A and B are shown apart, each in its own frame.
Chain A
Amino acid sequence: AQKITQTQPGMFVQEKEAVTLDCTYDTSDQSYGLFWYKQPSSGEMIFLIYQGSYDEQNATEGRYSLNFQKARKSANLVISASQLGDSAMYFCAMREAYASGGSYIPTFGRGTSLIVHP
């Protein structure tokens, strides 16, 4: 079963508008973390925002906010005031229980391609 589901292969938004990228996850752990990364055409994965499962407030980082709905197991990314430079692939990821050595191994979704129109 998919741990991370991103149902929108592609999204289009007008510059300066807000856009929501969907992410649902599947876990039986009580303690987990959710991430969003941006991948421009250059290939590098750029960390955007993190939400811990015990965090009561939705995470925000500048123009990025994470709409965390724990009961629905969703962690949607909201980008406000879209810019042309926001055009990229966006990946939702989750870390679950610790792997060997006390770390975790993030699992990624298939991504959503966002295109911002002028």
Chain B
Amino acid sequence: DTGVSQDPRHKITKRGQNVTFRCDPISEHNRLYWYRQTLGQGPEFLTYFQNEAQLEKSRLLSDRFSAERPKGSFSTLEIQRTEQGDSAMYLCASSSPGNTEAFFGQGTRLTVV
């Protein structure tokens, strides 16, 4: 499978715990995006990487959220001290300079109880 891969697919955590999600983009794609999607809404942009550089961050990305892409390949999104409002689908997408569209993974569904 050469698509965008996200792990885990589902995560249930207790409020206050830290969680980390992983995204493996399509191998030749140097651009990587994280989005968050809540019920009844479209995806909302969180952050963007070009290679290993984090070039854009949304105001939605509070100081409890951190994202990395250390070698310009896979990326991780960490949420510290989770809150119930963090419950959402977290989507990762990637693209290359030759693409007009971004390709999405299947998402990680986070439930904070």
Contact = CB atoms under 8 A, between A and B. Distances in A.
Interface of A: 4, 33, 35, 37, 42-47, 50, 52, 91, 93, 99-103, 105-111
B56 A50 contact: no
A33 B100 contact: yes
B5 to A, nearest CB: 11
Contacts of A46: 104
Contacts of B89: 43
Interface residues of B, number: 28
Given A43-B109, A99-B48, A105-B33, A110 B40 contact: yes
A50 B33 CA distance: 19
Given A47-B104, A111-B42, 6 more contacts: A44-B106, A52-B100, A101-B48, A101-B53, A103-B95, A105-B33
B45 interface: yes
Nearest to B97: A102
Interface of B: 31, 33, 35, 40-45, 48, 50, 53, 55-56, 89, 91, 93, 95, 97, 100-107, 109
18 contacts: A33-B100, A43-B91, A44-B104, A45-B104, A50-B101, A100-B55, A101-B55, A102-B97, A103-B48, A103-B50, A103-B55, A105-B45, A105-B56, A106-B102, A108-B42, A108-B44, A110-B41, A111-B40
A102 B51 CA distance: 12
B97 A108 contact: no
